[in-house]
């Protein structure tokens, strides 16, 4: 005998599209887990979530009408409390048993088991399994209560509501129907002022009948599709849209392809129940406007999919995902073309107007834009970024990068001016991008145009880095100024709150310094950043600078762990606070190779021991007198170090960290012998200091790449 499927559906008014998939997954997942906890599902049970603009539903396979009875073991109380000296039940125990519905005769059946240091009394009983009506009611209540609703709304119930006592409801959208089918049978649960039945509704305009009576739980999706013209599954609907978009682009020809945007695809999936992709177009004259502007207005305002050609350039055609499938779609196509035209005309107008003023002429206006009440205006901030950019460029020029300072200064001065343009005022997402276009129009040169465009990069994890060195300098200056300013006034991230995106800014700095192997020291950059804030910060900046440095290394450690390096490897390298972040990965790879050597464990343990000895000795002079080396083991260690450490140091200076650690591995035998045969803390002071100096030399030599003691188990 097969166990029937269970269907639960909430039929509501149009749900918020950006939250639909989360709502559907949460509703289905919580309801399934709650039934599972009550023993109403089987080991073979599974569930399918459904979510469309007007419904949240779940289909669960193999749901029992009644859960099996189960044995329950309850701890009552310590034996010393429940039984007297004669082994008779105390009043406290009898009262507890009575509360559980058991009489004095059950005392003999109680079990005694260890419970920590003492023994306790345990009572076993059989608990009746939940029936589906009660179990589903509890599960449904829990699923609704745990929905991640972005914003609750209140609404009044209809006057003919079947459930007395309900007058108003708080829910994400007004609910108009509830279905609960176990196989063919209705389970009369209640929710949101509704009583469950078997009736639902399909597509607003294209359903075969207004009310659909569901015959069987497992036929839900099929019946909705055939009679209701609705693809109930979010996943299937999304796949259908993606396939239609691809097919429509192929139909256009010329290598056309729809723009890839997973978030837009999700949102459109949440807006339609029966997707129908149509090809539309606009006048080619609008293509004179930067394609980012046109793409953004079509995606953000109209939820259209712009079409790109084989070279990735915007075409004058776009795709619309309609919710209806008329025999003649021309009216729908023309309507969408008519709607998009004013949007594109606005973008063209903004672009034309903005180019009438140069970026340089807008610099003065930044003084009227407040950046932060404690840090001044955007004009003041721009001057700080310029100062920092000149400082960074100067450091790089000393390393061989010529003629960088002037270009970086110009780009930093103009980087924020596009905030005052009409286009960025309408589409803030285009800041930086429009600055690049306007810089080219002002004949400022490609390097400066790219730098202005790229100075926000990387905007997110995985984003590309600035394309040229000028852009990198300005991007570093912009992010470091934000970090230093916010740490300087104590405006730090806490928990999941990070309104100024300081974590993202820190990771951006880390990526630029690491991936581009820039010859810049982290501490020097932070010192420069805090220098630009002189006069703005009343308190001493030393503590803020140290906190920011710790913050940067903490973000770096998290990033490296995400990249697959172990916590031990990361701690070993970062505990030395390497100044050049471009070296960190090579150090980590060297540590990983070293850790595989047979000598690694012993040398790591020895390093830990040496660290502890030197800590207790406090300040140790690393000078070693050969005359005071008495024991053969210490003489051998000194000789081995003389033969090994110069080579290892040379390899370290050349950046060959793997070879440097492998060279030092040869010290394992003399180090082991030293600790086996030599008393470091000798009573004779000069011998003790000499041996400590020998260990200090060894410690310095072995821990240039990483603190090897962190690898000790």
Q: Taking a C-beta distance cutoff of 8 angstroms, is the pair 182, 301 a contact?
A: no
Report yes or no: 657 and 590 within 8 Å, Cβ to Cβ. Answer: yes
Three-class SS of residue 219?
helix
Average pLDDT per consecutive 10 residues, the chain (713 residues; last block may be shorter): 88 95 96 93 94 97 86 82 86 87 82 84 79 93 93 77 66 94 95 94 93 95 96 97 97 93 96 97 96 95 95 96 94 96 95 97 96 93 97 86 89 97 95 97 96 95 93 98 94 87 96 94 95 81 92 96 94 95 95 92 90 84 88 92 93 93 93 91 89 91 92 79
pLDDT given at position 164: 57
Mapped onto helix, strand or coil, the DSSP state of residue 62 is coil
* Residues paired with residue 186 on neighbouring β-strands, in sequence order: 181
Distance CA(146)–CA(30), nearest Å, equals: 8
Contact predicate 556/574, CB 8 Å: yes
Closest to 273 (Cα-Cα) out of 323, 225, 228: 323
CATH architecture of the domain 586-711 equals Orthogonal Bundle (1.10)
H helix intervals, 378-521? 378-398, 405-414, 422-426, 433-441, 446-454, 469-488, 502-515
> What phi-psi label fits residue 241: left (phi over 0), alpha (psi between -120 and 50 degrees) or beta?
alpha
Residue 517 has a pLDDT of 87
The ranges assigned to domains in the chain are 6-66+131-228, 71-126, 234-354, 360-564, 586-711
The pairs formed by 95-104 with CB atoms below 8 angstroms and a separation of 24 or more are: 97/123, 100/74, 100/125
Cβ atoms 429, 301 nearer than 8 A: no
Domain 360-564 falls in which CATH fold? Hypothetical protein af1432 (1.10.3210)
Please report the pLDDT score of residue 362 as a whole number. 97
Q: Are 615 and 680 in contact (CB under 8 A)?
A: no
Q: Convert 422-448 to b/e letters by CB count within 10 Å (16 or more is b).
A: bbbeebeebbbbbbbbbbbebebeebb
- Asked if residue 93 lies in contact with residue 80, where contact means CB atoms within 8 angstroms, the answer is no
Question: For the stretch 115-139, what's the b/e string if a residue is b when 16 or more beta carbons lie within 10 angstroms of its beta carbon?
Answer: eeeebbbebeeeeeebebeebbbbb
For residues 48 and 29, the answer to whether their CB atoms sit within 8 Å is no
Q: Which two tokens stand for residue 98?
A: 């009575």
pTM of the prediction?
Answer: 0.81
In this structure, are residues 59 and 48 in contact, taking their beta carbons and an 8 Å threshold? yes
DSSP character at residue 299: I
């Amino acid at each position: 005998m097969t166990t029937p499927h269970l269907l639960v559906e909430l039929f509501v008014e149009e749900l918020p599209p950006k939250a639909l998939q989360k709502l559907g997954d949460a509703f289905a997942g919580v309801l399934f887990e709650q039934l599972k906890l009550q023993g109403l599902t089987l080991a073979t049970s599974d569930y399918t979530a459904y979510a469309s603009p007007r419904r949240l539903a779940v289909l669960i396979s193999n749901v029992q009408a009644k859960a099996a009875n189960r044995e329950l073991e309850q701890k009552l109380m310590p034996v010393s409390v429940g039984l007297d000296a004669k082994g008779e039940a105390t009043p406290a125990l009898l009262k507890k048993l009575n509360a559980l519905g058991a009489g004095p005769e059950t005392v003999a059946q109680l079990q005694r088991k260890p419970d920590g240091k003492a023994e306790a009394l345990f009572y076993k009983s059989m608990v009746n399994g939940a029936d589906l009506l009660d179990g589903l009611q509890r599960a449904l209540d829990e699923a609704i209560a745990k929905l991640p609703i972005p914003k609750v709304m209140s609404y009044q119930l209809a006057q003919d509501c079947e459930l007395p006592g309900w007058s108003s409801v708080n829910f994400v959208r007004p609910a108009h129907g509830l279905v609960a089918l176990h196989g063919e049978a209705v389970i009369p649960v209640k929710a949101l002022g509704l009583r469950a039945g078997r009736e639902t509704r399909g597509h607003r305009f294209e359903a075969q009948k207004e009310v659909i009576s569901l015959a069987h739980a497992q036929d839900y999706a099929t019946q909705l599709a055939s009679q209701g013209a609705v693809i109930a599954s979010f996943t299937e609907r999304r796949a259908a849209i993606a396939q239609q978009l691809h097919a429509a682009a192929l139909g256009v020809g010329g290598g056309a392809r729809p723009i890839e945007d997973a978030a837009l695809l999700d949102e459109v999936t949440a807006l339609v129940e029966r997707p129908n992709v149509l090809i539309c177009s606009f006048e080619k004259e609008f293509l004179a406007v930067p394609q980012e502007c046109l793409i953004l207005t079509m995606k953000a305002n109209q939820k259209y999919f712009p079409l790109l050609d084989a070279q990735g350039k915007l075409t004058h055609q776009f795709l619309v995902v309609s919710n209806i499938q008329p025999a003649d779609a021309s009216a729908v196509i023309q309507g969408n073309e008519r709607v998009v035209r004013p949007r594109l005309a606005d973008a063209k107008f903004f672009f034309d107007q903005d180019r009438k003023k140069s970026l340089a002429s807008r610099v003065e206006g930044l003084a009227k834009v407040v950046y932060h009440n404690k840090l001044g205006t955007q004009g003041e901030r721009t001057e700080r970024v310029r100062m920092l950019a000149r400082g960074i460029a100067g450091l790089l020029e000393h390393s061989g990068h010529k003629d960088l300072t002037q270009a970086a200064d110009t780009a930093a001065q103009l980087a924020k001016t596009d905030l005052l343009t009409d286009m960025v005022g309408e589409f803030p997402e285009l800041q930086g991008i429009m600055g690049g276009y306007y810089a080219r129009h002002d004949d400022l040169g490609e390097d400066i145009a790219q730098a202005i465009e790229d100075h926000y990069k990387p905007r997110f994890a995985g984003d590309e880095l600035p394309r040229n060195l000028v852009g990198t300098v300005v991007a570093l200056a912009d992010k470091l100024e934000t970090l230093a300013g916010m740490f300087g006034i104590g405006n730090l991230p806490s928990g999941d709150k990070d309104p100024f995106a300081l974590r993202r800014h820190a990771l951006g700095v880390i990526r630029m310094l690491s991936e581009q192997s820039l010859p810049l020291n982290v501490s020097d950059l932070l010192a420069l950043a805090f220098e630009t804030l002189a006069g703005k910060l009343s308190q001493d900046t030393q503590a803020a600078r140290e906190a920011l440095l710790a913050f940067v290394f903490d973000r770096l450690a998290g990033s490296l762990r995400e990249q697959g390096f172990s916590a031990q490897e990361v701690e070993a390298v970062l505990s030395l606070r390497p100044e050049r972040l471009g070296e960190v990965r090579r150090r980590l790879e060297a540590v990983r190779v070293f850790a595989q050597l047979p000598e690694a464990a012993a040398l790591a343990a020895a390093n830990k021991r040496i660290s502890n000895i030197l800590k207790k000795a406090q300040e140790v002079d690393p000078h070693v007198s050969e005359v005071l080396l008495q024991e053969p083991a210490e003489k051998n260690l000194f000789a081995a170090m003389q033969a090994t450490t110069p080579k290892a140091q040379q390899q370290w200076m050349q950046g060959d960290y793997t070879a440097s650690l492998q060279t030092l591995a040869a010290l394992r035998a003399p180090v082991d012998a030293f600790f086996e045969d030599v008393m470091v803390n000798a009573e004779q002071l000069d011998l003790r200091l000499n041996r400590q100096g020998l260990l200090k030399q060894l410690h310095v030599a072995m821990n240039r790449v990483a603190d090897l003691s962190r690898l000790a188990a």
